[in-house]
Structure 1
Amino acid sequence: MPEMPPMGAAVNLGRMAEFDGKTVLITGGGSGIGLATARQLVDAGANVVLAGRRVEKIDAAAKELDPTGDRVLAVGTDVSREDELDELATRVRGRFGRLDGVFANAGMASYNPISPRADVSDAEFDRYVGVNFKGAFFAIQKTLPLFDKGGSVVLNSTCLAHRGMGLTMGLATMYGSTKAAVTSLARLLASDLASQGVRVNSVSPGFIRTEMFDELAPTDEARDVCSQLVPAGRLGTPEEVAEAVTFLLSDRARYITGQDLGVDGGLVASQPMNPPVQM
């Protein structure tokens, strides 16, 4: 009798075939959660389209994921511009013909360390809405015609859509409120698109150690403060969010739609005991 592979190896082989023949679009795919999700999808057999405003980032990510260029396509795209999203849809159709999934991940956030309650300008307001909400809405609208056999859409929201952090009327408020619109959009689209066989869900990450997070919390002290707010006692990783996104995109989640999945170490639902209570 031939020797059986270890149990872990058998599981990995199953995951490798999970997305064979499927194509998934990821906006904001050049770094952080988007890139981590792309890695998992490529490992699971998917073709992946990386869209992002920073062309050098998505080009480098595509070469890292697929040096041959056969299964990963990078398309420079500002999601706040409809004409560029039209071009993105055209490029996807020309290369892969169709889509099976979309991860609307592109987003922006900034923080004023001098005055977190600083006035938000008209231009800043429009930019947040344009990238975080309008970009998600039109990325889905423009690519829906590429779904011909049902599929799955996942939108990236945030824990700030569910819990305030005391940065009232600052730029963090703009980030949280536009992402709250994304969470609502996922629920509404889940109903609207059910008849087309398209599932729609969202994820709400907490404090995840990405480039964007490090820009907002640039020191060890700032990151320690954030960690102390999390019941799990640490920051999350992009890979941990990517696991949730990959699950929601997969057929394993075929009976899940209209849901928001928190990936936040308990940040929204619980409160850490500090100092810990000795039981």
Structure 2
Amino acid sequence: MKVDALELEAARKWICENLAHEGVGTLYERYMVVELLDRLRAKYGFKSVCEYGCEITKGYDNLPVLGKCDVTLYDAEAKRYAKEWQAPKRPAFTDKPGTYDFVWSFALAQMRPGIVKEMVAHSKRYVLVCVPNYWNPGTFIHWFYHRFSQAACTHAERGSARLRTVAGVTRLVRQAGLRILEQGYVDLPLIPDIGFSLEEAKREFGLAPKDKPISSATKSYAEWLKTFERLWFVEKNPWLPGSIKSVAAHHIYVFAEKG
């Protein structure tokens, strides 16, 4: 199977044009995660997909595989996410998951380690676990931000520090009885993963009104691409040593199959 470049580009374009309020870091993250998902689909040929818990992604990272696979979003708040869904292509939403060829989660296992065994129970074969990378320099900026703002952390950059490392998350996956097929890094822009937006920081430190609405950037898709081109030096250079990627990466991924 092949990656459908036009379908992937259409998904990326929709994300940049409709989710710009999330900021450049999250848009870049989505830009790369959708590529990872579509590459895995093309390589391993799964036909049914379940994102297991979508409080972080809201399900939009599944856009490039919609139409090629049967996609289901499982979450306790599935009805709310279904009501808020904006994209023209629509997955199924459920709060009672079935079984699927491929089950994945993004930035949840470090907060809820038991989710991996739950995912295994609902997977016919493949499981993908993505977690934030503890060793990214943004981790320490994020800690200082909450230390001085005293704001409660609702970001993905929380939970077990150990499970945000390669050793920790691969061990968790193996303990769930899975055989690892791929382990790598995704989302490696040349900016630290601070976890919060500058607008949020301004509100927390009294530099902007608390009730100020989140602004939405008005860049075109072409302009976003130019921005990303300045950020993806590490991501797009396979010859760079793993020691650099292990620090630059915002996220670690482990792709595995049932034994």
TM-score band w.r.t. shorter chain:
0.3 to 0.5
Higher relative contact order (CA 8 A, sep 6+): 2
TM-score by length of 2: 0.42
Greater strand proportion: 2
Instruction: Output the TM-score relative to the length of structure 1.
Output: 0.39
Give the structure with higher Rg (CA): 1
Higher helix share: 1
